Structure 1
Amino acid sequence: MEHQYQKVVNVTYLAFAAIIAFLALLAMMKLSNTYDFESRVKSAEYIIRGLSIAVGALVFFGLYSNNTSNTFMNEVAVELLTKVTWPTGKDTVSATIIVIVTVVIAGLVLATFDWLFTMGLQWFWGTAQHLFS
């Protein structure tokens, strides 16, 4: 069976393995801090990072070499990615322009509120200083 979406499946495996490696890193760092592993072993941080990378690599290669998971993921990719409708270049450009204009307008509104708030606080502190001096 030809796997036309194997690259997508491999990237999905890689992303999942990276998440698992990060979670393993967090768990090992927490355990290291709890049991004071850093004071007992030199380069504990490097060991923990290496172990988390090894866990991620094992997850990736385990999924990559498993025929059942490859078949399932390819079937899912075929089913879902054939339903995707990609926007045209014109739609993408117009949506990008709308986003840029919206961000600029929001930035101007926030800058105006910041300026008004700063002026109000300067007036308030200036008035308060004259009252109490």
Structure 2
Amino acid sequence: MDGLILPLLLMLVVALPLILSTRKQKKLMAEQQEMQSSLTEGDRVMTTSGLYATVADASDDTTIDLEIAEGVVTTWLRQAVRERIVADTDEDIVDTETSADADSAQEELVGAEKSDEGAQVAPPIEQSKK
């Protein structure tokens, strides 16, 4: 009996993280599928390839039309949508600086502007067309 406790404990230590990671992965996949199925026209999204677009038509179950530029609409698989982009608003940001901190930051900005007055910008390099 004592010889079985150690192998059972070892199997439990190995199996428990595997089971927990599998459950977490299934939960994340379910959330991803729910987000992809709930997309509506006008939503801003990012695809798995990093392309930002606006949903133009979400009426099909397997594909979705994304507007990548004004007047340019492309068709993608729903699974290619990685996430919905939520626009940040400036109203949500709370300014916690005191007035003394704000004054010192303003003075630093003015000093930085004065030091940049003498900066020179190189002209663009012209490339020959062959």
TM-score normalised by the chain length of structure 2: 0.23
Name the structure with the higher helix share: 1
Name the structure with the higher strand share: 2
TM-score normalised by the chain length of structure 1: 0.23
